[in-house]
A and B are shown apart, each in its own frame.
Chain A
């Protein structure tokens, strides 16, 4: 998704673009996610700014891309089970409102107006009308097609080409060589590996999540609904398993239930404990789901950086290489803003916002001695 967005905005800026992927379009984390375009889960700061810019860009994109991308401004509903949770949610929302987020408190008696099937004993919640959703694989495929970029699939980048001055001059792939003065690393969860192949490094780690998919249902869940604990889990860096069910209906009928977070490398093995917790939390929010069948579950890997912010900007060591990866679970939502910023960096235009907090050089200080670049 991020690569498609970079191609789209770079193309709009007049650059000629080739997109290279070792697999298929949307074959990685994009195809494993739910397509969240969220502002509700972000605390005030650079990521929220990026999300707000993206939300605006998504609204524009939705007008030009076909309806098949299933862009839906469904809104988010964050609920609290007790008064303490509700108080924390109120503080959190107040800070977000100052940063430009729309958030409306929903008293317990009005919760069922928004979500008729919610459990009856909740303490209230906040409604975030700016939260939206797309079908991520279709959105990526249509955005990529709209970009007019050349697309080379099944072509893994094996190394970067460089001139005598060390500046990037292209990439070598399994199926041939491509020459270009700029290379954008939008390899998602493999962004660290690509950085290594370029002779640099970037500490991208996979953070596993499971999604449970139910049988198709009539619209039982209208918003993106989650418990207040989710926000704490997103911001938590622990390797241990955290689950906080995010429940939502889809245009096609199935209800999707995320989101677990654990750092276990690229292990796709089923964890019944994750499924148990997700199912228990989802049925606690929506008791009606207890009799509904899960027909599928799958694991995906969020590209995670230690400070939970993406890497957007030039590599500190390899001139011509830009990074656009490490968006963790927010890559679909943050993709358009990332693409726009990357295009502005490529053309030398003033970026829409300060990329300082996202600059890849921020990992320099914590790094040990670096081996020399392996450029060919």
Chain B
């Protein structure tokens, strides 16, 4: 029986977003036994995020695109043998003796109710997605400042607006989508403030020409913004937030090509909320703990280095979606399916699968969308001048309240040279979020006090916090998720 002590699953898929879902159903359709784990209580990941059923939203699916694709995946999942292990927080994956992997998760209500679960599998598909990159600025800790992705998630899952008059700022294609969602949900969006110039896309005409769908998507957002009279300010940034109890206004400054604020261009924009984000950062905690190699991306993050069939540098570990470089939902689905074919080809000894017409189509589509994603990433790469809008008292690490001045002192006076030693000397990144929020900014300030956002891979052997009681009980960990396991099934709200 798959998942039992004697027989592992063929494939464990970590993450039930677009990439993981597509991979899981395709692998199952190829006859593999599949465990699908996700921390959330619902499938769909970040892109296909839905209101919890208990909220009773009248039009729960209103803010969505690509619903048809998602419905298709959901139907295929329901038709499969897969019982998704939802509410399972995977904290580590380790190689076991023999040819299998052990996925360690914690599940159950917070605190004393949590228990360890171990899923064994012969192959892994890491589909852990991405999180939003934040670059700090004076006032970014004032209530009313939310992540752009966070604002989108709030809309999707709870249909809540972060404010009535919301400035959207930062960099990246997500900003337009967030602004049009906010406007459609009834918020006034006085401005979308984008640090890059969209003209930079023109430098990659081939990638653009090959992706008409993406252009159509941009046009849809563009026309929605026009309809809602949203102003797009490119080559600009929010360089300060005003208000103490709550956001009252923001300062918008023009930037030069290196993202340095141009003196004399400050403009005050009244608002009661700010949704801000500087692109997405692949979530690689599990992958880097396994030793998977990474590559620098054009927007100064790191993504997994993958071969033509989505396998990482560690044999037996595949990846799909944003972990291989941020590229959106359609790319994630394509990669998930391709990875599933590659896993089936390996485990079932059917190499022809990866040369099939379907696989070739998927590879071509993947390559085309990857090229576009790289062009977008290059256009939105943070310029080295962004640190100019910081003041010495700007908080960088919110958990431990470490300021820009504290980090600069550690670098100039006490011999810190990288994010790790800055952390040791200042506690930046040692708090609850473990540097997931401030990591990019700390690394940048550590590098030379003002350079471009450097590439680094953080090591976080615990991908999520784990109660000591759960760790202590590891030898009693349940081999959860067998197809006949009622405990697993009860965690599967198929009607969600």
Q: Which residues of A contact B (CB under 8 A)?
A: 23-27, 31, 137-138, 141-142, 144-145, 151, 153-154, 212-216, 252, 254, 257, 268-273, 275-276, 278-280, 282-283, 289-299
**A31 and B467 contact, Cβ closer than 8 Å, known pairs A215-B432, A283-B472, A296-B460:** no
Q: Given the complex, which residues of B lie within 8 Å of A27, measured CB to CB?
A: 417-418, 420-421
Q: What separation, in Å, do the CA atoms of A196 and B410 have in the docked complex?
A: 33
CB of B416 closer than 8 Å to a CB of A: yes
Q: What separation, in Å, do the CA atoms of A283 and B467 have in the docked complex?
A: 11
Q: Given the complex, which residues of A lie within 8 Å of B143, measured CB to CB?
A: none
Q: What separation, in Å, do the CA atoms of A282 and B470 have in the docked complex?
A: 12
**A137 and B424 contact, Cβ closer than 8 Å, known pairs A272-B94, A293-B466:** yes
The one of A141, A276, A278, A299 in contact with B475, judged by C-beta atoms closer than 8 angstroms, is A276
Q: Given the complex, which residues of A lie within 8 Å of B467, measured CB to CB?
A: 290-294
**A24 and B417 contact, Cβ closer than 8 Å, known pairs A276-B472, A280-B472, A295-B432:** yes
Determine if A215 and B465 form an interchain contact, defined as CB atoms under 8 angstroms apart: yes
The one of B416, B427, B472 in contact with A24, judged by C-beta atoms closer than 8 angstroms, is B416
The one of A254, A272, A279 in contact with B468, judged by C-beta atoms closer than 8 angstroms, is A279
Determine if A268 and B424 form an interchain contact, defined as CB atoms under 8 angstroms apart: no
Supply 18 further A-B pairs (C-beta < 8 A) apart from A153-B417, A257-B468, A279-B471: A25-B414, A25-B415, A25-B421, A31-B424, A138-B425, A141-B425, A145-B414, A214-B468, A216-B432, A270-B461, A273-B474, A276-B474, A276-B475, A279-B468, A291-B111, A294-B462, A294-B465, A298-B461
Which of B417, B467, B468, B469 is the most central at the interface, judged by chain A CB atoms within 10 Å of its CB? B468
Give 9 CB contacts A-B under 8 Å.
Answer: A25-B421, A269-B291, A279-B472, A282-B472, A283-B472, A289-B469, A293-B465, A296-B460, A298-B461
Q: Which residues of B contact A (CB under 8 A)?
A: 92, 94, 102, 104, 111-112, 289, 291, 400, 410, 413-418, 420-421, 424-425, 427, 430-432, 434, 459-462, 465-469, 471-472, 474-475
Q: What separation, in Å, do the CA atoms of A138 and B428 have in the docked complex?
A: 13
Which of A138, A214, A276 is the most central at the interface, judged by chain B CB atoms within 10 Å of its CB? A276
Q: Given the complex, which residues of B lie within 8 Å of A280, measured CB to CB?
A: 471-472
Determine if B471 and A31 form an interchain contact, defined as CB atoms under 8 angstroms apart: no
Q: Given the complex, which residues of B lie within 8 Å of A138, measured CB to CB?
A: 424-425
Q: Tell me, rounded to whole Å, the shortest Cβ–Cβ distance linking B94 to chain A.
A: 6
The one of A144, A216, A270, A293 in contact with B92, judged by C-beta atoms closer than 8 angstroms, is A270
Q: What separation, in Å, do the CA atoms of A280 and B476 have in the docked complex?
A: 12
Instruction: Please name the 3 residue pairs, one residue from A and one from B, whose CB atoms are nearest each other, closest first.
Output: A25-B415, A290-B469, A279-B471
Q: Tell me, rounded to whole Å, the shortest Cβ–Cβ distance linking B29 to chain A.
A: 33
Q: Tell me, rounded to whole Å, the shortest Cβ–Cβ distance linking B136 to chain A.
A: 21
Q: Given the complex, which residues of B lie within 8 Å of A24, measured CB to CB?
A: 415-418, 420-421
Q: What separation, in Å, do the CA atoms of A24 and B400 have in the docked complex?
A: 22
B475 to chain A: closest residue by CB: A276
Q: Given the complex, which residues of B lie within 8 Å of A283, measured CB to CB?
A: 468-469, 472
Determine if B424 and A26 form an interchain contact, defined as CB atoms under 8 angstroms apart: yes
A287 to chain B: closest residue by CB: B469
Q: What separation, in Å, do the CA atoms of A298 and B461 have in the docked complex?
A: 7
Q: What separation, in Å, do the CA atoms of A365 and B459 have in the docked complex?
A: 42
Q: What separation, in Å, do the CA atoms of A292 and B469 have in the docked complex?
A: 8
Q: Tell me, rounded to whole Å, the shortest Cβ–Cβ distance linking B400 to chain A.
A: 8
Determine if A268 and B417 form an interchain contact, defined as CB atoms under 8 angstroms apart: no
Determine if A290 and B112 form an interchain contact, defined as CB atoms under 8 angstroms apart: yes
Q: Tell me, rounded to whole Å, the shortest Cβ–Cβ distance linking B108 to chain A.
A: 12
Determine if B414 and A142 form an interchain contact, defined as CB atoms under 8 angstroms apart: yes
A21 to chain B: closest residue by CB: B415
The one of B410, B434, B474 in contact with A272, judged by C-beta atoms closer than 8 angstroms, is B474
Determine if A25 and B416 form an interchain contact, defined as CB atoms under 8 angstroms apart: yes
Q: Given the complex, which residues of B lie within 8 Å of A26, measured CB to CB?
A: 415, 421, 424-425
Q: What separation, in Å, do the CA atoms of A254 and B423 have in the docked complex?
A: 15
Determine if B459 and A268 form an interchain contact, defined as CB atoms under 8 angstroms apart: yes
Which of A25, A214, A293, A298 is the most central at the interface, judged by chain B CB atoms within 10 Å of its CB? A293
Q: Tell me, rounded to whole Å, the shortest Cβ–Cβ distance linking B420 to chain A.
A: 7
Q: Tell me, rounded to whole Å, the shortest Cβ–Cβ distance linking B15 to chain A.
A: 20
**A141 and B414 contact, Cβ closer than 8 Å, known pairs A26-B421, A283-B469:** yes
Determine if A291 and B472 form an interchain contact, defined as CB atoms under 8 angstroms apart: no
Q: What separation, in Å, do the CA atoms of A271 and B459 have in the docked complex?
A: 14
Q: Given the complex, which residues of A lie within 8 Å of B413, measured CB to CB?
A: 145
Determine if B415 and A151 form an interchain contact, defined as CB atoms under 8 angstroms apart: yes
Q: Tell me, rounded to whole Å, the shortest Cβ–Cβ distance linking B242 to chain A.
A: 31
Q: Given the complex, which residues of B lie within 8 Å of A142, measured CB to CB?
A: 414
Q: Given the complex, which residues of B lie within 8 Å of A141, measured CB to CB?
A: 410, 414-416, 425
The one of B414, B462, B471 in contact with A295, judged by C-beta atoms closer than 8 angstroms, is B462
Q: Given the complex, which residues of B lie within 8 Å of A23, measured CB to CB?
A: 417-418, 421
Determine if B420 and A31 form an interchain contact, defined as CB atoms under 8 angstroms apart: yes
Q: Given the complex, which residues of B lie within 8 Å of A299, measured CB to CB?
A: 461
Q: Tell me, rounded to whole Å, the shortest Cβ–Cβ distance linking A52 to chain B.
A: 28
The one of B400, B410, B471 in contact with A276, judged by C-beta atoms closer than 8 angstroms, is B471
Q: Tell me, rounded to whole Å, the shortest Cβ–Cβ distance linking A185 to chain B.
A: 19
Q: Given the complex, which residues of B lie within 8 Å of A279, measured CB to CB?
A: 468-469, 471-472, 474
Determine if A275 and B474 form an interchain contact, defined as CB atoms under 8 angstroms apart: yes
Which of B415, B417, B427 is the most central at the interface, judged by chain A CB atoms within 10 Å of its CB? B415
Q: What separation, in Å, do the CA atoms of A298 and B471 have in the docked complex?
A: 15
Q: Given the complex, which residues of B lie within 8 Å of A153, measured CB to CB?
A: 415, 417
Determine if A294 and B94 form an interchain contact, defined as CB atoms under 8 angstroms apart: no
Q: Tell me, rounded to whole Å, the shortest Cβ–Cβ distance linking A186 to chain B.
A: 15
Q: Tell me, rounded to whole Å, the shortest Cβ–Cβ distance linking A11 to chain B.
A: 16
Which of B112, B289, B431, B432 is the most central at the interface, judged by chain A CB atoms within 10 Å of its CB? B431
Q: What separation, in Å, do the CA atoms of A276 and B417 have in the docked complex?
A: 34
Determine if B472 and A290 form an interchain contact, defined as CB atoms under 8 angstroms apart: yes
Which of B94, B104, B414, B416 is the most central at the interface, judged by chain A CB atoms within 10 Å of its CB? B414
A25 to chain B: closest residue by CB: B415
Determine if A295 and B465 form an interchain contact, defined as CB atoms under 8 angstroms apart: yes
B113 to chain A: closest residue by CB: A291
Determine if B427 and A252 form an interchain contact, defined as CB atoms under 8 angstroms apart: yes
The one of A154, A257, A273, A294 in contact with B466, judged by C-beta atoms closer than 8 angstroms, is A294
Q: Tell me, rounded to whole Å, the shortest Cβ–Cβ distance linking B14 to chain A.
A: 16
Determine if A296 and B462 form an interchain contact, defined as CB atoms under 8 angstroms apart: yes
Q: What separation, in Å, do the CA atoms of A154 and B413 have in the docked complex?
A: 15
Q: Given the complex, which residues of B lie within 8 Å of A278, measured CB to CB?
A: 471
Q: Tell me, rounded to whole Å, the shortest Cβ–Cβ distance linking A286 to chain B.
A: 9
Determine if A292 and B415 form an interchain contact, defined as CB atoms under 8 angstroms apart: no
Determine if B474 and A216 form an interchain contact, defined as CB atoms under 8 angstroms apart: no
Which of A154, A254, A278, A295 is the most central at the interface, judged by chain B CB atoms within 10 Å of its CB? A295
B474 to chain A: closest residue by CB: A276
Determine if B462 and A297 form an interchain contact, defined as CB atoms under 8 angstroms apart: yes
Q: Tell me, rounded to whole Å, the shortest Cβ–Cβ distance linking A86 to chain B.
A: 24
Q: Given the complex, which residues of A lie within 8 Å of B475, measured CB to CB?
A: 276
Q: What separation, in Å, do the CA atoms of A278 and B469 have in the docked complex?
A: 11
Q: Tell me, rounded to whole Å, the shortest Cβ–Cβ distance linking A252 to chain B.
A: 6
Q: What separation, in Å, do the CA atoms of A216 and B401 have in the docked complex?
A: 14
Which of B430, B432, B461 is the most central at the interface, judged by chain A CB atoms within 10 Å of its CB? B461
The one of B417, B420, B460, B468 in contact with A292, judged by C-beta atoms closer than 8 angstroms, is B468
Q: Tell me, rounded to whole Å, the shortest Cβ–Cβ distance linking B421 to chain A.
A: 4
Determine if A154 and B471 form an interchain contact, defined as CB atoms under 8 angstroms apart: no
A19 to chain B: closest residue by CB: B415
Q: What separation, in Å, do the CA atoms of A203 and B94 have in the docked complex?
A: 31
Q: Given the complex, which residues of A lie within 8 Å of B410, measured CB to CB?
A: 141
Q: What separation, in Å, do the CA atoms of A43 and B126 have in the docked complex?
A: 49
